[in-house]
Every structure is written in C-alpha cells, then in structure tokens.
C-alpha cells in the first residue's frame, strides 16, 4: 500500500510541475507576446577586458536567439532549456573558470533564455562577460 501511495504522490508532483511550467509559459507569452514584422533592436556587448561594442540589428525575428544568430553573434550548446550561450562576438566563456555570459534588458536579468525572449522594435539588450558564480 505504501509503494502505491508513494508512486501516486510522485506522479501527482510531476504532473503538477508540468502544469506549472505550461501555465507559466502561456502567461509569459500572453503578457509579453513576440512582435511580428520588421524591428530594430540594440545589443550592447561587454567583453572580458571591459571593452564595449554596440550593435544595431534589423530583423524580422520574434525571439532574441534568432536575431543574434542572424548576425553570428552567439554560439552555444543545446540543452533541454534551449541554447546555453558559450560564445558571444567571438569570445568564449570557460565554465571551468566560472565564466559565463549574463543577458540583461535595461540592466535587469532576463527571466527567460535567448530562445524564448520575445523582442519588439526598439528593445535594448546587454550581454556581459562575467566571472564567478
């Protein structure tokens, strides 16, 4: 009896977690839907040596990843959460040295990955090289 109860609880927890993820995605896209059509965004890149580069991107992309890939600005590895960005503008972060790329918009960390961050005309994003968790 205990095994069945434990198994039911695990199944219920998994279903509950999946429902939360689905509702969160639907809510996020309803609150901040991607814009279709032509748009221009600005991306400011801060490299490990603190040099800055500002790039204007004209795109029809609805999400940040596609806009950045159209300009060959990012590369990474695919994960179950989407693209894990390792290289930005030719500079590669080394996770064994606790190096990573921080994506922000208006100085605030993005709550989504590059795959699911919608863009609209006039958006400005910052990508900053960081060391340390």
Give, in words, the CATH class of 39-131: mainly beta
Q: What was the pLDDT predicted at 8? A: 75
| Domain range annotation of the chain | 1-31, 39-131
Q: Quick one: pLDDT band at residue 23, thresholds 50, 70, 90?
A: low
Q: What was the pLDDT predicted at 24? A: 56
Contact between residue 120 and residue 35 where contact means Cβ atoms under 8 Å apart: yes
Per-chain mean pLDDT for the chain: 88
């Amino acid at each position: 009896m205990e095994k069945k109860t434990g198994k039911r609880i695990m199944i219920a927890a998994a279903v509950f977690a999946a429902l939360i993820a689905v509702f969160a995605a639907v809510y996020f896209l309803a609150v901040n839907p991607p814009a279709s059509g032509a748009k221009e965004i600005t991306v400011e890149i801060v490299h490990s040596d603190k040099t800055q580069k500002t790039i204007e991107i004209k795109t029809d992309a609805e999400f940040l990843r596609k806009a950045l890939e159209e300009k060959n600005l990012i590369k990474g590895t695919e994960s179950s959460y989407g693209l894990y960005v390792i290289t930005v503008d030719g500079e590669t972060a080394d996770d064994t040295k606790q190096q990573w790329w921080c994506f922000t918009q208006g100085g605030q960390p993005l709550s989504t990955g590059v795959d699911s961050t919608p863009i609209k005309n006039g958006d400005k994003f910052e990508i900053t090289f960081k060391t340390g968790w």
